[in-house]
Amino acid sequence: MSYVVGEILLPIVLLSQLAALIGWMSRGYVERWHRGPRDPAALLRQRLQEQIVLAARLQEDLERARSQLRERAVPAVEVSDDALPETLARKQRMLEDLEGALASSRQAVEVRSEQLERARAQLQALERALASSQGRVRQLEDRIRPLPTRPPADEMSLAEARAYVEALAVRAAGPGGAHDDLRQLRGIGPKLGDALRELGFTRFEQLARLPDDDLEVVAKALQLSVRRMEQDGWLLQARELSETQDGGP
């Protein structure tokens, strides 16, 4: 770039020098015209000779100036050309380093996000397990809680009998599991099945665990007779089905 600028400026400088020299020679020519002989041919030959000498001198000055400019400009261009690839390479390395750091940051964020999701899933699972355990603890507490002392069944009101039987149902309940269809028991229809569910009986094992001493209270809560319950035999069937579910003979 600097070499091209020099090539443009050099002729301008030389032309200005030429103009100054021509002006100086012109003044000398006029002075000699007044002082010397007035032979036009001699004056023209003299002027031509001076112009030839001037042209040769200007040519030498031009070559010398061009050589000096080339010596000054070429090293600068070479340095610039050498520095440019190095600068570009350095910028490229910086860009690659930044891209690598960005990729590493993104990967770290993805890893942290995955870890967070796993931790969140584990926390939810633990919360569900805790809720289930708390429910199980409440069930066990209800089962081991002693039943209130009850009066004889014929002295209990219907409400008292129902409350007592509801406590029996809770006490007889096992851990979790799906509800059984109590209507599979002979003698239990839709109406009696709904009445048993209202009291908290949803599984065969609950009926199978009813103490014989409390059958009169259960019958009163269901507004049935013990004889009817024994004739239908659904308590005995419940025990048999419960043993089958537990893998018994």
Give yes or no for residue 67 having a pLDDT over 90: no
Domain boundaries, the chain: 2-92, 148-245
So what's the pLDDT on residue 131? 81
Q: Determine whether 183 is exposed, middle or buried from the number of CB atoms within 10 Å of its CB (0-12, 13-18, 19+).
A: middle
**Nearest partner of 50 among 26, 30, 33, judged by Cα:** 26
Q: How far apart are CA 172 and CA 182, in angstroms?
A: 15
165-218: pLDDT as tens digits: 998 888 887 666 678 888 888 888 889 999 999 999 998 888 888 888 888 999
Give yes or no for residue 48 having a pLDDT over 60: yes
79-130: pLDDT as tens digits: 455 667 777 888 788 888 888 888 887 888 788 888 878 888 888 888 888 8
Helix (H) or strand (E) holding 225, with range, is none
8-37: pLDDT as tens digits: 444 554 555 555 555 555 555 445 545 555
